[in-house]
Chain A
Amino acid sequence: MIELLNILYYYSKINCEEVITLGIIYIGDRATGKTSLALELTNPKYNYVRITNCQYQDLKDKLFRDGEIQPTAALNSLYENSLQVEVQLPAGAKNLSVNWVDTPGEVWRKSWRKDNPDNWQKLLNNIQESEGIILVLPPYREMPSLNSSVDSSLFPTKEQWCQRFQRWVNFFQFECPKAQQITICLNKADLFCNIEKEESELGYHPRHNRKGWFERHSYVKQRYFKVVQTQLDQISSATEGAPVRCFITTIHNRSLLELPWLYLASQL
């Protein structure tokens, strides 16, 4: 895959067309918001990240039924889509052709793996070959600022959340030691923080000297990933590629939604 990429990159240089082809995969448990995040990215109201080949409405029609987003069907396992993404970076626009793979949350259950060994292997290959992995996590019940209007029983307890996190660590360590770029998105930020305030802390402003990626990550890690700090370092040391990067995301704030993509586009 990397060889292939090099060849592609080489040809794209010859043709003077700066289009880089990448595989980016969303993983995470059920109902953490993977599909919503990807769908929302195609929203025509954008800042620095624009999808040029997909219509928001078309995709929405495809994914929604009765006003509810459909759970990604597990049996055909991978929902693949090709997105043309144009990202505005400090050195100018960069065009990526992203092979976006959505995975149903169900596949992370042990029983599913047992019953579908072939599909599991296929999924695993797909993850291992991706240049970027986006892990989407839900909030946990005890988060201090969790919005009181939400039914917190929908979310795992802190203990469950930490245990689940450790299993992700093991997954990366043993199944994806060659991962180049792992980003972790703690999603549904609208439910556990003041998104306008965090936007002003973390927002991307290429013309101003605001936080760099390292500082953004440190800020998010310090505030929202405190309970798993050592596990985060464990992922970074167990994988070959770049250190893991954490974000908070929500479909209700464009700035926060775009950050992981700006990050991935500048790295890859």
Chain B
Amino acid sequence: MGNLVIIGPRSSGKTTYLCALAYWPQRQAALHHQSIFDVDPIGEDSENLQKQAKNVIMPQESLQGTKVLTFSEMAQYQFQIKVKKKFSNKTELINLVVRDSAGELFDNLASGNINPDHEEIYQDFLRKDVVGCLILLGDWQKEDDEDYSASIKNFLSFLDQYDRNHDLKIALAMSKCERGELWTGRIDPYLDIFGAHLSQTRLVLEKSNFNQKNLEFFAISTFGVLARNDPRPNRRDEPGKKGKWSVLREPQKWKPYNLIAPLYWLSTGKKLGANV
């Protein structure tokens, strides 16, 4: 059973991402889409995610921000992912327990003035039975790069402190990549997203004593685009929310992009081809 944690700034799409994962079976059925993956949400907490997908995301709304909770209060989202192997009848089973965190947790790291409650949560997040951390980022302006790199720098010092430099995996992912400026960068996010827009953030990770084998870069979009041959983003932006909030444009066409790749890599160390 792999324990994973998700961190990242406010409104970067962490909870929406998990909802999409829990709702994957229904979307697959609705789109008559054959994929090498099956996702099985297990337990009440994961069912809650499914409900939110149905009640909130499908009817064109945004989820509420996640509140700061202690590790033991946090929901435990359990999933079983089945991967059908090409050219054989075998399926690979991946069992995950994922914990979602409030964006405040990541944002407050930047100041270096860390709230003791948050520190306790990070301590739990870095227990030895946690195998990986998904860092989901949402913006790419210069100021954002500065904030992100400051937060990650302090996160890395926690890794030092709890001796997780060598055995924790980090997937650094850019979310909401259906946005025009990012969509073409999705093929090579290391270069065309992180290199082009978040170079300071990338550098902080690369220049640290963190085991580089355990670091990987991803581009994902929970909302995706309208169709394979119609790359218009499946999203509508909320006026007044500075591009940070959006809702699905055509819920019936909802098909996330690259949702599972980071989780698959965090649990197996293997990368997947694009477009699954």
Contacts and interface: CB of A to CB of B under 8 A. Distances in A.
B241 interface: yes
A201 interface: no
Interface string A240-268: 11111000000000000000000000111
Given A236-B240, A237-B241, A213 B59 contact: yes
A267 to B, nearest CB: 6
Contact of B54 (A90, A244, A268): A90
B241 A91 contact: no
Contacts, number: 73
Interface stretch (A71-79, A152-160, A185-193, A227-235): A227-235
A148 B21 CA distance: 54
A39 to B, nearest CB: 27
B60 A212 contact: yes
A235 B240 contact: yes
Contacts of B251: 209, 212
B55 A233 contact: no
Interface in A72-99: 89-92, 94
A89 B50 CA distance: 13
B56 A242 contact: no
Contacts of B236: 214
Interface string A131-173: 0000000000000000000000000000000000000000000
B64 A267 contact: yes
B230 interface: no
A91 B240 contact: no
B245 interface: yes
Contacts of B65: 240-241
A236 B51 contact: no
Interface residues of B, number: 27
A89 B51 CA distance: 9
Contacts of A180: 64
A266 B60 contact: no
B58 A236 contact: no
Interface string B224-246: 00000000000010111110010
B67 interface: yes
B60 A267 contact: no
29 contacts: A6-B67, A6-B69, A10-B73, A89-B55, A90-B54, A90-B55, A90-B58, A90-B59, A91-B51, A94-B55, A209-B251, A209-B252, A212-B58, A212-B247, A212-B248, A212-B251, A214-B236, A214-B238, A215-B60, A233-B240, A234-B240, A236-B241, A242-B61, A242-B64, A242-B245, A243-B62, A243-B239, A243-B240, A266-B59
Given A10-B73, A243-B245, 7 more contacts: A2-B67, A209-B252, A212-B251, A234-B240, A235-B240, A237-B242, A242-B64
Interface of A: 2, 6, 10, 13, 89-92, 94, 180, 209, 212-215, 232-237, 240-244, 266-268
